[in-house]
Every structure is written in C-alpha cells, then in structure tokens.
Amino acid sequence: MSDCIFCKIIDGSIPSNKVYEDEKILAFYDLEPQAPVHVLVVPKQHICCANAIDESNVDYVAHIFTKIPEITKKLNLENGYRIVNNCGDDGCQSVKHLHFHILGGKKLDSQMC
Ligand code: AMP
C-alpha cells in the first residue's frame, strides 16, 4: 500500500530501529514508547487490522506469535510483557496496518483501559 507508513518502513523508504526481521514479519521500536520497552511487530503483507485476518493471511499472524518468544527474549523481557492490538476507531488504531504492540520493561498497570 503506497500510503501506508508501516509498508514504507517494511520496504525501507522510512527508517526504523529494527529488532527482528525475516521473510514474513518485522519488529521495530515504537517512535513514541509508552513503556520502557515498546516494540511493534508487523506482517510484511499489508493487512489493515485484526478484523481483516482470514484464512488467506492467518499464516502471517501465526508466524508473529511463533516468533514473539524469540523477540521478547532478545528484549530481555523474561519477566513478562503485554501484547496489545488496537483495532478500528473504538480501539484507537492510528496506523491501518495490522500490528502488535509488545510492552514491558517494568510492572505494567493491571488496568487494561
Ligand atoms: P496504534 O495506535 O495501535 O495504531 O499504534 C500505532 C503506533 O505506531 C503508535 O504507537 C505510534 O507511536 C507508532 N508509530 C507511528 N509511526 C511510527 C514510525 N515511523 N516508527 C515507529 N513507530 C511509529
């Protein structure tokens, strides 16, 4: 998608601070961290949001969750972390490319919202 900021990060036309990359996914530090460690994990295929996950693209999502233990180990999050996905307007999704926030590096608030 030509106007998608995360597609531009994936194709390298916008720089990012990468944590992990393979043929299917990219993980990079969030520009405006909301925790001591705040990383985004995105599929390299443009999927607009969690509501658009289906049989044709679920492999990307499964791959993200398969790799999260490796990514969080690299981030020294052995004591735990939170995975967040914002979907749609009520979920306050600001970038319309599916992404999972990994938040950690401290004891997080028990309140989810
Ligand atoms: P969401 O509100 O769930 O759509 O999250 C989008 C996230 O993308 C926010 O936490 C932003 O800080 C982050 N973000 C936006 N642009 C960039 C960028 N160029 N590099 C890294 N993170 C970004």
Tell me the domain boundaries of the chain: 5-104
Indicate the CATH number of 5-104 among 2.60.40.10, 4.10.140.10, 3.40.50.1000, 3.30.428.10. 3.30.428.10
- Neighbouring residues of 26: CB distance < 8 A, sequence distance ≥ 6: 9, 10, 16, 18, 20, 41, 42, 44
Q: From the alpha carbon of 29, which atom of ligand 1 is closest?
A: 21
**pTM of this prediction?**
0.98
Whether 86 is in the pocket of ligand 1, judged by its Cβ within 6 Å, is: yes
Looking at the CA of residue 85, tell me the nearest atom of ligand 1. 3
d(CA 98, CA 94): 10
d(CA 54, CA 76): 32
Q: Ligand 1 center to residue 37 CA distance, Å?
A: 14
Point out the residues that are catalytic.
99
In whole angstroms, give the CA distance from residue 83 to residue 77: 12
Residues 56, 91: Cα–Cα separation, whole Å: 24
CB 16 less than 6 A from any atom of ligand 1: yes
CA–centroid distance, 33 to ligand 1, in Å, is 9
pLDDT computed for residue 61 by the predictor: 98
Q: What is the block-wise mean pLDDT of the chain (113 residues), using blocks of 10 residues?
A: 94 98 98 98 98 98 98 98 98 98 97 91
Residue 2's pLDDT is 81
